[in-house]
Homo-oligomer: A and B are copies of this chain.
Amino acid sequence: MKLTFSPASPFARKVRIAAIELGLIDQIEFVPAAVTPGQPNDEYSRLTPLKKLPVLILDNGDVILDSYVIVEYLDELAGGGKLIPASGPSRWKVKTEHSMLQGMLDSMLLCRYEALVRPEALRWKAWSDDHWNRAWTGMARFAQQADLLSRPFDVAAIGLVCVLGYADFRFADCGWRKAYPTLDAFYQKMQERESVRVSAA
């Protein structure tokens, strides 16, 4: 299998962490790719019209996206129910948490594009503020979850690692550690995992 990859992509990081945790990392060849809004990349667009990282390319040529579906696929390949609960209320809780974290990452990327890719004269503060607020109040919600430090490592925990790591990487001054000490404790504990350490941007 091949995975299109950039070390700066929090979505690619999610898949990388999952692949390490599932023992599948040696079966995946990482293929460097770069995509920037406003800049064409015709070769990549032939792979996926969404022009987003990552996609998984199976040995038979089939393409799987997006990052969440790739994690689901790898989880099934590893036997199922490892990173996503196979049934019951916890299944929908973890999936919902992951969707929330995915949306927070989407909003953080929109903030990043607004601040660095869009020409300076065309930036709109209300847009950035709105999307940053989604990520920030999302963090507040996860910070209030008492089970954060004791729960099994799953795709929602991976998503939270990717959100906080991306905050460190691209919004270093946002002050999330001071604002959310429980998230800081969570992130520090997660550093014990090799998958988290080696995948940091």
Does A89 contact B72, Cβ atoms closer than 8 Å?
Answer: no
Report chain B residues within 8 Å CB of A131.
37
Contacts A73-B92, A89-B62 given; does A137 touch B49 at CB 8 Å:
yes
- Judge whether A177 is part of the interface by a CB distance below 8 angstroms: no
List which A86-103 residues lie within 8 A (CB) of chain B.
89, 92-93, 95-96, 99-100, 102-103
A122: which of B40, B51, B103, B123 is its contact (CB, 8 Å)? B123
Q: Of all chain B residues, which has the CB nearest A89?
A: B62
Q: What is the predominant secondary structure among interface residues of chain A facing chain B?
A: helix
In the complex, which residues of chain B have a beta carbon less than 8 angstroms from the beta carbon of A133? 45, 49
* Residue A29 interfacial (CB < 8 Å): no
- Neighbouring B residues of A1 by C-beta, 8 Å: none
**Chain B interface: which of A2-10, A63-71, A180-188?**
A63-71
Residue from B37, B72, B96, B134 within 8 A of A65 (CB atoms)? B96
Q: B103–A45 contact, CB under 8 A?
A: no
Smallest beta-carbon distance A126→chain B, Å: 4
Q: Does A52 contact B (CB under 8 A)?
A: yes
A127 within 8 A of B: yes
Nearest CB in chain B to that of A95: its residue: B69
Complex A-B, nearest 10 residue pairs according to Cβ-Cβ distance, in ascending order: A50-B103, A38-B126, A49-B138, A49-B137, A66-B99, A122-B124, A69-B95, A122-B122, A65-B99, A64-B96
